[in-house]
Structure 1
Amino acid sequence: MGWLHSLFSPFKKLWLRIHSTNKKSRGIYILYEDVKSCPYEDVHILWSILVESCPPASPPKR
């Protein structure tokens, strides 16, 4: 049974890495569509301040 685990272990790690990376890379930009559709100028100004204060996303470490 140990050979079966060793066979599927790399695939499980790859699966988890692919699915966890997508969520991390989206960050605050999940809200972008909501902010873009908002009619209030204050919201757009606050969004621009927030985006400018966040550091750019770094590529995932391998």
Structure 2
Amino acid sequence: MGWLESFISPLKKLWVRLHSAQKKSRGIYILYDDVKSCPYEDVHVLWSILVESNKPSLPSKR
């Protein structure tokens, strides 16, 4: 069974590396699952403030 593990191990490392690279580019949203699972309302309020402050503003019509 050692040969099977030696075959699967590099593929598993590649899989983990590719998927972790996608998560790094998500910015603050990497914390979303942690915030969603938190039971404290204060954390949810702070999260909503943070998300609202990071939204791109619409260009004003002049």
Question: With structure 2 as the length reference, what TM-score do the two structures score?
Answer: 0.50
Residue number in structure 2 paired with 1:11: none
What stretches of structure 2 of length at least 5 have no aligned partner?
1-20, 57-62
Shift of residue 55 of structure 1? 2.9
What stretches of structure 1 of length at least 5 have no aligned partner?
1-20, 57-62
Seq. identity, %: 80
Question: With structure 1 as the length reference, what TM-score do the two structures score?
Answer: 0.50
Residue number in structure 1 paired with 2:49: 49
Kindly tell me the number of residue pairs found equivalent between the two proteins: 37
Report the secondary structure of 2:39's partner residue.
Answer: coil
Residue number in structure 2 paired with 1:9: none
Aligned AA for 1:28? I
